[in-house]
């Protein structure tokens, strides 16, 4: 066996093989345990860089708990199930594995037109799990999957070969369901015979209607067929010269059992046709006038394939198929029930005879003496390029090129699926240094470039503009990452072939065109555009991505950080008006986090990390159920924001896009806790999360000890050193008072500004300790289009009410508000359960808890009377036309230095409302007097 190629040799080989797929890397470059490949170079445009998952280890806390649940799932799930659809498509043995189901099986939505995507997600899951833990089990599973995919691609490159299995008497030939394979017989097989007998042993593997055992014909007008099941589920024979309406036929009386061998025979002579099942006549018709002679010489003579393109291919096994130029007697047919034709009095078929006992190759010998050997073929032919790799035929990609409108039942986002597979392979390579994964990824891009570069620009624009069918996910980002590894010009050119110009141009001009667009079809486009900017320097791409982010945050962002309603975007600012059971698709949050992170590498705008914290600590954490499961990852698709919504953690029978991204999210919670300036001069602490960073370039470790968000702060301990750099601590935009930093117990001078980073510069030494205090307060966030619809936050934590629907819960919060503006005194803490409260008898809990309790993310604000410090003024709380109440305007001035400052605010606000005719003077005086007499918490 040849020595595996090194990574350097692989890169050199990739540079030299511009037009073909490199096969030299088929051997695996074995790395030392937990020694990931050197990743793509950090783009020069990045002013900060991330740390690898191996550099940051999670400590005990909410992230670690959910991470462990997903790691257990990754350890236990049978990866051969994921390979099943790939192996089937290539005509390989599926090794008894059962497809995952849902979107990954042939019986899933749109007949499984998205199958293969989940395998890519799972590869990324395993790669992240291995990089984060170093456990060999994950590397082993990656090796199994990559090896399986390499076998699949090799099989797809060549004509199909027989899959020999145990038969009724000896060997048989199996067509795996999903292989799209059939047996092609020579044109002369029927020879214009005036009489006929068809005899076949079959073992059906699926109950699809109209799958043919044989179909001899020219088209859908002139033909003769034997189907395993008709629309009623029973066998059917038919012959016609005038299409379906003229069929003369015979129907069985009972379905053929699945997974069992059955013998079928049809005899036809002198106007009489008889259908036999297992040697017994089940149907006879003396009025069948058509014979093979009436059909003439037919062009298509198939076993397992129908002339009707919508009919499925036969899934199952064939053995001992014989065609006779006469009608066998009932006794002769009965003999065929118990032994091979060659051993019966009838002998082998005189028109054609196939034992199907071959164990290699793709040709079946004819035993009739006529030399009519048959050939195993695919209905869709062969791939257009040797780099093709998918779990379904290339026909989806081909058909997309001529589509003018979306139809996901025909073509469902083939380039989206290609992206997931490509991304998984790249991640597998970067985690394990397995050269086969890089070779497969490079081959896929060579194949895509060969297809797409030959298309006119107008065709590409039409394709990428199609909803669903033209969706391509984050493929541009993945192709750019591959280009950073290979340096191949074709790969960068491929990335640019996905430009959707009208969207890019609009967003570059800061023109909001998002209303009506499918959200998750477009979010990952912009992460790809940022990477295209990195590789090309074209500012239009980066500008478009920045502007797009600002069109989503906050204008189309729900309180939990998610976006989309029924997978689509509504009008700018439509929050209350877009709530439903299918809001906040989980994939959208995943991709918005990725975009925010990537933009931060270029522009350290703290708003990106404010958003990151919001979406990560609320929707992403809350999308994972808090219980183990070996079969399902237990991740939401949508998170409904209607009152009393119950989260569905096993959506659409599983294996959806959101379960895929959910698996990825749960194994990379640590990826954005810390960033470093590109020159090593500063360390960004973006998130307060229990973790340990190994910053090898500076020779230090940073251990973050915290129970955040149950704890209102964090402690950082430096190990190693000495090392001089600036520690940049994020001050959340909601931390409006009390953010403090000490180093070794001494206060750090300076004024932390909410929504900025607070810098601490020094030469750090082993044992230096930084304490960050981040006081939380209870606050509300109002829906942009309805100020009475509000969400409740305690620091970064979105508190959801747990109560049945369908009506929104109604809360009042000002009655006991503190001078700081903190609304927390209105809530009653639940003993021994951090971050759990009650209000008016209704429980409030962190949205991040993955329970199946009915929840209310939003509530209706109800402050009918003006109350201060628990004292009721007796005055109704008036409101302006926009819904803003008197109390809203008073408390908008918080925090107050003392009671006097609050009373002054009350007096000035009351005077303004009285002047505007919104409040009577007498009632205004009562309000001021109550404010002056009340007692307040700080």
Q: How far is CA 209 from the centre of its chain?
A: 31
Q: How confident is the model at residue 57 (pLDDT cuts 50, 70, 90)?
A: very high
- Which of 19-28, 41-50, 912-921 reaches the highest mean pLDDT? 912-921
CB contact set of 649 (below 8 Å; sequence gap of 6+): 624, 625, 632, 634, 635, 636, 850, 852
pLDDT at 41: 72
Backbone angles phi, psi at 525, to 5 degrees: -55, -40
pLDDT (mean) for 884-893: 95
Closest by CA to 741, choosing from 726, 754, 731, is 731
Residue 586 near residue 636 (C-beta atoms within 8 A) = yes
How far apart CA 618 and CA 403 sit, in angstroms, is: 40
842-864 confidence digits (pLDDT tens): 999 999 999 999 999 999 999 99
754, 757, 763, 764 alpha-carbon torsion, rounded to 10°: 80
Whether the pLDDT of residue 261 is over 80: the answer is yes
Residue 444 near residue 420 (C-beta atoms within 8 A) = no
How far apart CA 59 and CA 717 sit, in angstroms, is: 13
Whether the pLDDT of residue 8 is over 90: the answer is no
pLDDT (mean) for 194-214: 97
Which of 2.60.120.200, 3.90.1150.10, 3.40.50.1240, 3.40.50.720 is the CATH number of 164-378? 2.60.120.200
Q: Using alpha carbons only, give the angle 679, 680, 682 rounded to the nearest 5 degrees.
A: 115
Q: Select the more confidently predicted residue: 38 or 604.
A: 604
How far apart CA 610 and CA 136 sit, in angstroms, is: 36
160-191 confidence digits (pLDDT tens): 999 999 999 999 999 999 999 999 999 999 99
Whether the pLDDT of residue 417 is over 90: the answer is yes
Residue 833 near residue 844 (C-beta atoms within 8 A) = no
The tokens describing 860, both together, are 């209706």
Whether the pLDDT of residue 24 is over 50: the answer is no
Backbone angles phi, psi at 184, to 5 degrees: -100, 120
Buried b / exposed e over 6-22, threshold 16 CB at 10 Å, is ebeebbebbeebeeebb
Residue 513 near residue 487 (C-beta atoms within 8 A) = no
Residue 169 near residue 263 (C-beta atoms within 8 A) = no
Classified as helix, coil or strand, 487 is coil
Reported for 758-762, long-range contacts at CB under 8 A and 24+ positions apart, including other chains, are 758/728, 758/729, 758/730, 758/731, 759/682, 759/726, 759/727, 759/728, 759/729, 760/726, 760/727, 760/729, 761/724, 761/725, 761/726, 761/727, 762/724
- Percentage with pLDDT > 70 across the chain: 96
The tokens describing 428, both together, are 């597998």
How far apart CA 808 and CA 842 sit, in angstroms, is: 12
pLDDT (mean) for 101-124: 93
User: Per DSSP, which regions of 245-324 are E strands?
Assistant: 248-251, 262-269, 272-277, 280-285, 300-303, 316-324
Please say whether the dihedral angle defined by the alpha carbons of residues 869, 873, 876 and 879, taken in this order, is positive or negative.
Answer: negative
How far apart CA 121 and CA 115 sit, in angstroms, is: 12
Classified as helix, coil or strand, 98 is coil
Q: How confident is the model at residue 882 (pLDDT cuts 50, 70, 90)?
A: confident
Classified as helix, coil or strand, 735 is coil
359-384 confidence digits (pLDDT tens): 999 999 999 999 999 999 999 999 99
Q: Where are the domains of the chain?
A: 164-378, 674-708+713-770, 871-938
Packing angle between helix 899-915 and helix 921-933, nearest 10 degrees?
A: 170
pLDDT at 39: 54
pLDDT at 40: 60
How far apart CA 190 and CA 880 sit, in angstroms, is: 87
């Amino acid at each position: 066996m040849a020595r595996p190629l090194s990574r350097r040799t692989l890169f050199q080989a990739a540079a030299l093989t511009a037009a073909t797929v490199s096969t030299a890397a088929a051997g695996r470059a074995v790395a030392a345990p937990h020694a990931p490949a050197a990743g793509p170079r950090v783009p020069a445009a990045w002013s900060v860089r991330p740390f690898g998952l191996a550099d940051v280890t999670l400590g005990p806390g909410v992230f670690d708990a959910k991470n462990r649940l997903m790691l257990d799932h990754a350890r236990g799930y049978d990866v051969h199930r994921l390979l099943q659809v790939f192996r089937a498509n290539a005509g390989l043995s599926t090794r008894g594995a059962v497809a995952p189901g849902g979107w990954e099986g042939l019986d899933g939505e749109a007949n499984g037109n998205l199958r293969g995507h989940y395998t890519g997600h799972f590869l990324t899951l395993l790669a992240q799990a291995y990089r984060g833990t170093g456990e060999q089990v994950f590397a082993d599973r990656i090796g199994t999957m990559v090896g399986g995919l390499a076998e699949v691609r090799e099989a797809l490159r060549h004509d199909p070969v027989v899959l020999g299995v145990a038969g009724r008497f000896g060997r048989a030939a199996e067509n795996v369901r999903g292989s799209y394979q059939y047996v092609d017989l020579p044109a002369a097989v029927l020879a214009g015979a005036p009489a006929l007998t068809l005899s076949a042993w079959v073992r059906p593997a699926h109950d699809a209607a109209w799958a043919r055992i044989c179909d001899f014909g020219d088209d859908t007008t002139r033909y003769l067929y034997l189907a395993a099941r008709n629309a009623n589920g029973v066998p059917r024979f038919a012959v016609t010269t005038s299409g379906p309406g003229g069929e003369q036929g015979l129907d069985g009386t009972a379905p053929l059992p699945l997974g069992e061998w059955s013998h079928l025979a049809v005899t036809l002579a002198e106007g009489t046709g008889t259908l036999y099942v297992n040697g017994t006549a089940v149907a006879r018709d003396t009025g069948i006038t058509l014979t093979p002679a009436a059909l003439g010489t037919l062009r298509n003579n198939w076993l397992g394939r129908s002339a009707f393109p919508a009919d499925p291919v036969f899934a199952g096994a064939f053995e001992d198929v014989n065609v006779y130029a006469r009608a066998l007697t009932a006794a002769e047919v009965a003999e065929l029930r118990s032994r091979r034709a060659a051993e019966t009095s009838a002998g082998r078929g005189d028109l054609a005879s196939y034992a199907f006992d071959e164990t290699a190759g793709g040709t079946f010998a004819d035993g009739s003496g006529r030399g009519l050997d048959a050939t195993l073929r695919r209905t869709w032919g062969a791939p257009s390029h040797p780099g093709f790799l998918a779990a379904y035929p290339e026909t989806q990609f081909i058909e997309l090129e001529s589509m003018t409108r979306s139809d996901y039942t025909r073509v469902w986002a083939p380039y989206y699926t290609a992206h997931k597979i490509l991304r998984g392979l790249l991640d597998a390579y970067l985690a394990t240094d397995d050269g086969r994964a890089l070779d497969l990824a490079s081959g896929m891009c060579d194949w895509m470039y060969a297809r797409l570069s030959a298309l006119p620009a107008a065709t590409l624009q039409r394709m990428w503009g199609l909803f669903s069918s033209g969706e391509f996910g984050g493929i541009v980002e993945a192709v750019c990452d591959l280009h950073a590894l290979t340096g191949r010009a074709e790969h960068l050119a491929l990335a640019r072939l996905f430009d959707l110009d009208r969207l890019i141009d609009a967003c570059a001009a800061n023109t909001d065109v998002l209303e009506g667009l499918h959200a998750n079809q477009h979010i990952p486009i912009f992460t790809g555009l940022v990477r295209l900017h990195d590789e090309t320097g074209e500012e239009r791409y980066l500008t478009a991505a920045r502007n797009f982010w600002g069109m989503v945050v906050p204008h189309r962002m729900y309180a939990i950080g998610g976006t989309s309603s029924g997978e689509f975007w509504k009008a700018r600012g439509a929050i209350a008006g877009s709530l439903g059971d299918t809001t906040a698709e989980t994939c959208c949050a995943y991709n918005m986090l990725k975009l925010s992170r990537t933009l931060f590498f270029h522009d350290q705008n703290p708003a990106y990390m404010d958003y990151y914290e919001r979406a990560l600590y609320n929707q992403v954490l809350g999308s994972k159920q808090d219980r183990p499961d070996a079969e399902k990852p237990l991740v939401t698709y949508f998170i409904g924001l209607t009152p009393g919504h119950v989260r569905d953690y096993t959506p659409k029978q599983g294996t959806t896009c959101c379960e895929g991204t959910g698996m990825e999210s749960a194994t990379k919670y640590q990826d954005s806790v810390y960033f470093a300036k590109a020159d090593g001069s500063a360390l960004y602490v973006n998130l307060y999360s229990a973790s340990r960073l190994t910053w090898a370039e500076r020779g230090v470790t940073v251990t973050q000890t915290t129970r955040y968000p149950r704890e209102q702060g964090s402690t950082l301990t430096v190990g190693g050193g000495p090392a001089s750099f600036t520690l940049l601590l994020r001050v959340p935009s909601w931390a409006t008072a009390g953010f403090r930093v000490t180093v070794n117990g001494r206060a750090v001078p300076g004024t932390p500004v909410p929504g900025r980073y607070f810098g601490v510069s020094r030469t750090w030494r082993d044992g230096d300790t930084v304490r960050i205090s981040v006081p939380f307060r209870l606050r509300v966030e109002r829906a942009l289009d309805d100020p009475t619809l509000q969400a409740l936050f305690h620091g970064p934590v979105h508190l959801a009410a747990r109560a049945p629907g369908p009506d929104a819960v109604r809360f009042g919060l000002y009655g006991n508000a503190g001078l700081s503006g903190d609304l927390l005194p209105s809530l009653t803490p639940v003993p021994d359960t951090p971050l759990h409260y009650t209000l008016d008898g209704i429980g409030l809990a962190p949205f991040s808890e993955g329970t199946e309790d009915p929840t209310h993310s939003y509530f209706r604000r109800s402050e009918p009377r003006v109350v201060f410090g628990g004292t009721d003024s007796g005055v109704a709380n008036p409101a302006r036309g926009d819904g803003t109440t008197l109390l809203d305007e008073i408390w908008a001035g918080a925090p107050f230095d003392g009671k006097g400052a609050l009373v002054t605010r009350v007096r000035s606000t009351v005077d303004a409302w009285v002047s505007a005719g919104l409040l009577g003077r007498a009632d205004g005086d009562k309000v001021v007097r109550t404010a002056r007499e009340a007692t307040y918490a700080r």
